[in-house]
Structure 1
Amino acid sequence: MSKISTAAEGTLPNVASIDRPGAAELVGRAKALIPVLREREADAIRNRQVPIETIQAFRESGFFRILQPARYGGFEMSPAVYCEIAKTLAEGCMGSAWVYGVIAVHNWQLALFDPQAAEDVWANDNSVLISSSYMPTGKAAKVDGGYRLSGRWAFSSGSEHCQWVILGGNMVAEDGDGVPEPYNFLVPRSDYQILDTWHVMGLCPTGSNDIVVEDAFVPAHRVIRERDMFNLSCPGHVQNTGALYRIPFAQLFNRTVSTTSLGSLRRALDVFVEATRQKRATYTGARLAADTTIQEAVADVTLTLTDLELRLASDLAELESRARSGDWPIERRAQLGHHTTSMVSRCVEAIDKLMLFSGGKAIYLGNVVQRAFLDIHCARAHVANNPYPYARNLGGMTFGFENDCLDL
């Protein structure tokens, strides 16, 4: 294990040095938390929040620092490490893994803002966490030095554990075409309320409650144009020059909300196989494991997991390579975008098979396959996991039409 002195990297000298674990050690820490997350899962579902003890364990393990800039105590590690942690934690509790993934990616996005934004958040405490709701429902009016922001946003995962939030809103850019386009606004906890609205069928521990802002001032340095993230022309690139921060925003964020389904599906498959191994049909007494239809379903789900995990690893390696080279052809971005947005739909098909063959016992609360069924279906409801717009865009480009998607 090596040491990183964040002061030596150019941040404030009062920020303590931290240990920088290697990738294998971080993954090992995630694996060690799997049984802990399973023990806490029922309470997390009932309370509709990830326990504070789990958030603290993630902090102590260094998970939130994986994508965070080194100058603020982060590790600036590969997105592959970040995704592997999310996938592993989801084998314990998908809701807890979802909160990890969403919060941790904001530590990466903050590096894209004007550098003053990171100073606002981390100058005194580089462990401060950020939530989000990117849906562009906010109303912003330009004023001297920034904007006045108001609105209500849904689906802010892990917001109870965060001190800042990134919120979406449409505005007409001064150099734009007159059509409103999406911007992100970084707002401190003192300027928003959290409304307890998260009563849902799956991903219950994520605590994805509503955020309300009433006429808050947001300085210009805490606002970023989504088009700049698409074009890789962000204010933060001047300070954060590493290849990690030269990945298009959606290429990384969309994998945040798709990767955890793989871990949940893996857990469900293992539980299904173990439970079915000695199970017998109620009326005939025949071993269900001998049923060729069930055998085929297990083989199909296993193949789906293998395919998706290989695709994820390949795509993440390509993102890193392209970030180093700066080569981002729009056609390939469309293909990579479609890869990740179709991932959860394939997990839905796979978990449906396991649920179908789990029998009547699976309808009882607490059944692991049922939990994965509900969580993965809820993940599919996320806009970034809707494959149809991405498929239509990619198909259209194949026939010579222009790209019409900024979320690539």
Structure 2
Amino acid sequence: MAHEVVRRVEQYGPKLAELAAGNEELGRLSDETVGLLRSAGVLRLLQDRKFGGYAAHPRDFAEAVMAVSRHDGAAGWVCGVVGVHPWEVAQMDPRLSQEIWGADPETWIASPYMPNGIAEPVDDGYVLSGRWPFSSGTDHCDWVFLGALVGDGKGRPASPPTVLHVVLPRSSYEIIEDSWDVIGLSGTGSKDVVVDGAFIPDYRTVNQDEVSAGEAAERHGVTEPLYRLPFTSMFPLGITSAVIGICQGALDAHLALQRDRVAVTGVQIRDDPYVLYAAGEAAAEIAASRVQLLDGISRIYDKVAAGEPVTIEDRSTVRRNQVRCAWRAVSALDEIFTRSGGNVIRRDNPLQRHWRDAHVGLAHMIHVPGAAYHANSVAGMGLELPPPLRVMI
């Protein structure tokens, strides 16, 4: 069952933590880390059962991502991003899933979804060109999801703009090896990918609006509630789960450090009420972030399972809370980081890596609060969201 995945992650936890510094230095996940993730089954939690996946509740997926991130933020981030892609494939033409997993159901799929390319319509498909940064885990993936704007036949986006999610095999894109030099989440190996005139058949594409509204699955007769959830609830789930897990790992490291630490005043930190107060408060804030994130996706899932409509207000509320969960957890991490003592800045201290990874994770566009909070307030008034506010809602 899905909970067995979390149990295996905890079993592998010490080894994942041991490998984390090496992944950062390598600039991608090591083959050994990837082997542990495959053995645990994290990236198969949302995969269709037809190919040996768990088709698990998204709450179980989020808990597994948090569990990995607690030990290695980069590994958890890759699980949170790459682990969502099987969920989307299950909503598309069955020919695609057979192509990807027919020979090897363990095959991974990268992304990103930002519409950085132009897909020019041709007979039976599109011709795509563009360059996309931030392809997390891409070295270990054999396919990729990319966002693309439908072209007007002249190399420009058509008007009004239409965004597609398109899927390409490894032979159709290039990974730019020297494109990932960053201060945090280095181990994710989120390199640029380039496509130069690749043909994509229609069945390997899906309209972003249909996925965002949870409508894509219906076109292919997929009825499970899992695959009818909104993309804008599911994709942020994996990333925010990684950030919360990183913050929990930082708290673990902080408490381990404080157990025997002595301040310059000669006072043992375990007897310092101010440091312990901050740690207790941070623990409560990180726990609250975890609970609220899981509650949001569970509420959306329950509505879909009951056949009830998921409204724009529902979706915007989940997004608002998801953003707040990330900010709350990282703010808690900041409070304990500043109380961890001077040795926290040393590179052999895992807490500094958690701190850097968490802040880089917070910089992802799905954690930008302005538009998400604005949209939720407008939706709460019963007003229609203008197009700029509907992005990622």
Aligned twin of 2:249: 267
Code of the aligned partner of 1:109: E
For the residues of structure 2 that align with 1:225 and 1:172, how far apart are their CA atoms? 14
CA offset digits 1:129-154 (Å, max 9, x no partner): 10001111101111111101000000
- From 387, 390, 393, the equivalent of 1:405 is 390
- Count of matched residue pairs: 385
> Structure 1 unaligned runs (5+)?
1-21
Please say if 1:349 is aligned against 2:326: no
Out of 261, 283, 290, the position equivalent to 1:302 is 283
Deviates more, 1:153-162 or 1:86-95: 86-95
Is 1:178 the counterpart of 2:163 in the alignment? no
2:13 aligns with 34
SS at match of 2:183: coil
1:234 aligns with 2:216: yes
CA offsets 1:343-397 (integer angstroms, 9 cap, x no match): 2211221111111111211111122221111000000111112122100111222
1:246 corresponds to 2:234: no
Distance, in Å, in 2 between the alignment partners of 1:314 and 1:225 is 28
Q: Deviations over 1:19-77 (max 9, x none)?
A: xxx13322110101110101111111110111112222222332222111112221211
- Alignment pair present for 1:336 and 2:321: no
Structure 1 equivalent of residue 188 of structure 2: 206
**Structural RMSD (CA):** 2.0
| Matched ranges for 1:284-303 at <5 A | 284-303=265-284
Taking the aligned partners of 1:181 and 1:297, their CA distance within structure 2 comes to 48
Deviates more, 1:150-159 or 1:351-360: 351-360
Aligned to 1:311: 292
Aligned-partner residue type, residue 368 of structure 2 = N
Q: How many Å apart are 1:128 and its aligned residue?
A: 1.4
Q: 1-side partners of 2:278 and 2:189: how far apart?
A: 33
Separation (CA, whole Å) in 1 of partners of 2:107 and 2:280: 44
Q: Distance in 2 between matches of 1:247 and 1:352?
A: 33
1:97 is the counterpart of 2:69 = no
Identity %: 31
| Aligned residues of 1:114 and 1:235 also touching (Cα < 8 A) | no
Structure 1 Cα separation of the partners of residues 16 and 183 of structure 2: 19
Distance (whole Å) between structure 1 residues aligned to residue 305 and residue 107 of structure 2: 29
Of residues 58-67 and 301-310 in structure 1, the stretch that sits farther from structure 2 once superposed is 58-67
Task: Return the alpha-carbon distance in structure 1 between the equivalents of residues 301 and 127 of structure 2.
Answer: 37
**1:290-310 per-position Cα deviation (integer Å, ceiling 9, x unaligned):** 333322211220110221122
Supply the AA of the counterpart residue of 1:330.
Answer: I
The residue type equivalent to 1:223 in the other structure is T
SS state at 1:346 partner: helix
Scaled by the length of structure 2, the TM-score of the pair is 0.93
Match of 1:78 among 21, 35, 57: 57
